[in-house]
Amino acid sequence: MNQSNQEKDHFEKNSLSVPSTHKKRIVVIGGGFAGINFVDKINSNEYQIVLFDRYNYHTFQPLLYQVATAGLEPDSVCGPLRKICKTKKDLYFRMLKVQKVDTKERRVYTLLGSIKYDYLVVATGAKTNYFGNKNIEKNAFPLKQVVHALELRSQLFQLFEKAELRRGTDEVDKLLTFVVVGGGPTGVEMAGALAEMKKHVLPHDYPEIDFNRMKVYLLEGLERLLPAMTESSSESSKKYLETLGVDVRLETFMKDYDGKKAVLDNGEEIYADTVIWAAGVMPNIIEGIEADQFKGRFHVDEFNRVYTTEGQSTYDNIYALGDVAYQVTEQFPDGLPGVAPVAIQQGEYLGKTFNRLAKNKKIRPFNYLDKGTMATVGRNKAVADLPLDIKLSGFMGWITWMFVHLMYLIGFRNKMVVFVNWMWSYLNYDRGIRLIIRPAQKNWEETDELIEKSLQ
């Protein structure tokens, strides 16, 4: 046992400890797209890996809106992280939130102790950004995690039950008004799914409710939907949404929402019991890493190393991936977008780069291969901007969207169950999973605290 490992052992007689080896230890924070793809590619014969996540599962965030709208089970858009980890030998999973990092000591801290790293990979992703508006934070529904999707599902079906019991009163309009804020993929897909439910599912379920009174608004601050896509895709998605009856408002902001009334920047007021906030994200920052940042994201060089000072020096052992990283490339001078494909490719890239380093091979800078962007609005209605200037829409876009999402889902079981659900919904114009198992509470902070407590 060498000096460095004796030192490790001395410090790590705590519940986080992992076996001492001669290998360098890589600590990965976050089991999202970047983290699990890094873990998938890294050669654990060369490195020891310790993966931290506060949940015991990976979430396939692009499909959360389908969980919220009763199209998929929460369980089929999640993959247990221990299952992902068990394919590798010297890989350890710790279901713990990392509290802070000490970059001098090279050590990460949790509530249950600390652990030393040789390399640190920060892949903590992003969370909902309310831009400081406490009212909106308190009253609107975000859609970044499984608990959010479940709370929103409960909220929707509680409201429909309530609307039926209140039929004939004015209260019904407020119960059946849904304001979706943010015209990115999440907002577009959520608004589309609500409008489809209004058309195909709800009138059969609640024959006593007059669903002409149900209104879905989609607000976007910029002058077009899906600003990251081509203009023709933006236009198609708007057209699809309007065909489904969604009231799309461009260049419109929501200023405030008290739980009852949404106030727009043009002064208009919309009475709505449900606002879904998909208007922005911000990185999950870990305390203790001094670095150059852009909008809270760690500025990284072309090898995904975190800059200590912009454009000058980087940490030699701290890397950032995915939504928490800000990386400028020739093609993307304003930084790579915060989307799943970037996180996936950066994770794979960094894993392979470490493997090359271990073999003393030359390493290459990260190169993002843009395979295209897509969004689905509803049944047979999707838009896709693919490479070589290929644009798909309608049925072809929709099939492509389904195929790509199935492909990237973690695990064969999930793929099968999602496929069955999609075929079922398509053939039967149905959404099978409309259960109110627990009533909506919006207590996600409490949930996180309880998970932490449960381990103590």
For 14-90, list the strands marked E by DSSP.
24-29, 47-53, 57-59, 78-80
Considering only residues 12-71, where is the footprint of a copy of itself by CB under 8 A? 15-16, 55-57
- Closest distance to a copy of itself from the beta carbon of 444 (Å): 9
Q: Cα–Cα distance between 356 and 348 in angstroms, integer?
A: 12
Say if residue 115 is exposed, middle or buried (CB neighbours under 10 Å; 0-12, 13-18, 19+): buried
Q: Which two tokens stand for residue 425?
A: 């919904």
Q: Cα–Cα distance between 209 and 204 in angstroms, integer?
A: 10
The amino acid occupying position 37 is: N
- State the residue for tokens 């998909």: 278
Among 40, 118, 205, 301, binds a copy of itself (CB under 8 A): 205
- Closest distance to a copy of itself from the beta carbon of 320 (Å): 26
Let me know: does 180 contact 187? Beta carbons within 8 Å: yes
How many chain residues interact with a copy of itself (CB under 8 A)? 60
Task: Kindly state whether residue 401 participates in binding a copy of itself, applying the rule CB under 8 A.
Answer: no
CB closer to a copy of itself out of 111 and 390: 111
Beta strands at 113-116 and 107-110: parallel, antiparallel or unpaired:
antiparallel
Strand order in the sheet with 24-29: 91-95, 47-53, 24-29, 119-122, 314-320, 305-307
Binding to a copy of itself by CB under 8 A, coded x per residue (else -) over 147-186, reads x--x------xx--xx--xxx-------------------
CB closer to a copy of itself out of 361 and 413: 413
Task: Kindly state whether residue 430 participates in binding a copy of itself, applying the rule CB under 8 A.
Answer: yes
Let me know: does 399 contact 380? Beta carbons within 8 Å: no
Buried b (16+ CB within 10 A) or exposed e, 334-367: ebbebbbbbbbbbbbbbbbbbbeeeeeeeeeebe
Task: Kindly state whether residue 121 participates in binding a copy of itself, applying the rule CB under 8 A.
Answer: no
- Closest distance to a copy of itself from the beta carbon of 89 (Å): 9
Q: Cα–Cα distance between 425 and 379 in angstroms, integer?
A: 9
Task: Kindly state whether residue 78 participates in binding a copy of itself, applying the rule CB under 8 A.
Answer: yes
Task: Kindly state whether residue 433 participates in binding a copy of itself, applying the rule CB under 8 A.
Answer: yes
Task: Kindly state whether residue 417 participates in binding a copy of itself, applying the rule CB under 8 A.
Answer: yes
CB closer to a copy of itself out of 359 and 453: 453
Task: Kindly state whether residue 434 participates in binding a copy of itself, applying the rule CB under 8 A.
Answer: yes
- Closest distance to a copy of itself from the beta carbon of 167 (Å): 8
Let me know: does 383 contact 392? Beta carbons within 8 Å: yes
- Closest distance to a copy of itself from the beta carbon of 428 (Å): 8
Q: Which stretch binds a copy of itself (CB under 8 A): 280-288, 314-322, 356-364, 425-433?
A: 425-433
Range list of H helices, 107-184? 134-139, 146-165, 171-175
Among 10, 104, 134, 204, binds a copy of itself (CB under 8 A): 204
Residues that bind a copy of itself (CB under 8 A): 15-16, 55-57, 73-76, 78, 80, 82-83, 86, 92, 94-96, 112, 146-147, 150, 157-158, 161-162, 165-167, 204-208, 411-414, 416-417, 420-421, 424, 430, 432-441, 447, 450-451, 453-455
